[in-house]
Amino acid sequence: MRKILLTCCLLLGIAAASHAQGMQRMTPEDRAKNLQTQLKLTDDQTAKVTAIYKAQAVKRDSIRTAANGDRDAMRAAMMPLMQSTNAQIKAVLTPDQATAYDKMLADQRARMQQGGGGGGGGN
């Protein structure tokens, strides 16, 4: 549970950092293609992951709108969304892919904790 919470905080941090720096956010399709490359997803898996990311994007945008600039409220609402998204993605993956996905998230979290940002990697 703690690992999932840290992962969610990492993903929220990446999203906040990229938004604060004025960087263009990756589209759900780009994020899915990135995972396809990193985890060697099949076309069917990529389509499912794209749908998951699209649904997350809609919910994320509505959370941002509802929070109306309140970062604490947004963070509290985003954590369960990120946990759900990660769980849905892992359900699409094979056991080996899920292990690699967990490692990828852990690596991103480590970079964030070291102040290195999210880098160009996918999430």
- The domain spans of the chain are 26-104
CB distance 97 to 39 below 8 Å: yes
- Closest of 105, 12, 96 to residue 56, by C-alpha: 12
How do residues 41-75 score in pLDDT, each as one tens digit? Answer: 999 999 999 999 999 999 988 888 888 888 888 88
Confidence of residue 20 (pLDDT cuts 50, 70, 90): very low
pLDDT of 24 over the 50 cut: yes
Rounded CA separation 31/50 (Å): 8
**Nearest Cα residue to 53 out of 72, 37, 33, 39:** 33
The pLDDT, as a whole number, for residue 48 is 96
pTM check: above 0.75: no
